Amino acid sequence: MDDTGVILCQNFLDELSEAITLCAPDQLFVLTDENTHEMCLPLLHEIDALTQAHHIMIGAGDVYKNLKTLSNVWQALSDQSATRHSLLICLGGGMVTDLGGFAASTFKRGIKYINIPTTLLAMVDAAVGGKTAINFNGLKNEIGVFQPAFRVLLETEFLHTLDAHNLLSGYAEMLKHGLISNYDTLNELLAFDLANTNYNQLKQLVGKSVSVKEIIVKKDPKEQGLRKSLNLGHTIGHAFESLALNQQRPVLHGYAVAWGLICELYLSHVSVGFPRDVMRRVIHFIHENYGSFIFTCDDYELLYKLMLHDKKNKGGIINFSLLTDVGELCLDQTATQSLIYETLDFFRESMGI
């Protein structure tokens, strides 16, 4: 384990038992959603410490990442007389770890929690780095706190049950980590065959990817500067995600991020000189694996408005995290409305639409 509490598991059950023992909780709670309750919880049954655990199950999906579900979790903790010495284990994807982390961080002003992410997206991003949240007022992750988990246990065996789309969704965040770190990591990621997943190799890539994030979070846990680099691809990616949701054709978060990366690499190229050949290689990989996101110029205005909601913005100015080269960050950049529209034109041309 490193000093940020993230463990790439070699023996998951032992490592979880050790983490629980170290916490020495007076009561133990396990939070799952309907899916992880059925698919993942049985894998934990051998752990003695969990025989007395209280189970809290919530609905699966982002639609349940709200105040009502949060209140149900607080209620369950309160009904079972949880104390400040109780421990919450969050077993699930990013929705469970975000909401569970927030519930734990606020109950009695904060109890310890352990994240066990079960999706690739949660392993390489959501469950690591201490961001907790629920959606509010139609906005994603609008309410939350920064509060790191006591431990994050990465058990890549869970990935065997993940469908191809969710695997790709998480992989987009790994591509982002490659772009903000170095050429070796990026090249390794671009060479990985996602159609015939080698899970041993994927485990190594997950370990490397998470360490990129951890190094950044350690230097800037509350996103005052450097951590903004983790938003590469997300300013436009979130706008794509919201547009798709508004038009009742939701897309997975990582797909929107992958398409957002294409746009923000173009912006990086034209604004701060990111190399064209690398941009082209990344676009090719994304187009091959993620396909296209279809929209027309009639959607530009709404996409622009959605970008104005980004959490990094200040004073109504859209804030982008760009790159001058792989691993060379250029934070707090902005772009005119006409350059953003040009970027959307470029995206549609690259996708052949």
- Residue numbers of the site for ligand GLY (CB under 6 A)? 125, 129, 131, 227, 230
Angle, in degrees to the nearest 10, between helices 183-191 and 164-181: 160
Shortest distance, position 76 Cβ to ligand GLY, whole Å:
27
Question: What SS3 class is residue 140?
Answer: strand
Q: Evaluate whether 151 touches 5 at the Cβ level (below 8 Å).
A: yes
With beta carbons less than 8 A apart as the criterion, state whether 29 and 87 touch: yes
Min dist. Cβ of residue 98 to ligand GLY (A)? 10
Nearest CB to ligand GLY, comparing residues 65 and 227? 227
Q: Count H helices, E strands: the chain? A: 13, 10
Closest distance of CB 227 from ligand GLY, Å: 5
C-beta of 140 vs 227, nearer to ligand GLY? 227
Q: How far is the CB of 129 from ligand GLY (least distance, A)?
A: 4
Q: Compute the least distance from the CB of residue 34 to ligand GLY, in Å.
A: 25
Question: Rounded to an integer, what distance in angstroms lies between the CA atom of residue 241 and that of residue 251?
Answer: 6
Report in angstroms how near the CB of residue 291 gets to ligand GLY at its nearest.
Answer: 23
In the bound state, the residue with its beta carbon closest to ligand GLY is 230
Report which secondary-structure segment, H or E, holds 154: strand 151-154
Torsion of CA 67, 72, 78, 84, to 10 degrees: -50
Q: Shortest distance, CB of residue 100 to ligand GLY, whole angstroms?
A: 16
Element containing residue 241 per DSSP (H, E) = helix 234-246
Residue closer to ligand GLY, measured from CB, 210 or 230: 230
226 Cβ contact list (under 8 Å, min separation 6): 216, 219, 220, 329, 331
How do beta strands 151-154 and 112-117 pair?
parallel
Q: Tell which residue, 153, 151, 197, has the closest CA to residue 171.
A: 197
The packing angle between helices 164-181 and 253-272, to 10°, is 30
Smaller CB distance to ligand GLY: residue 37 or 131? 131
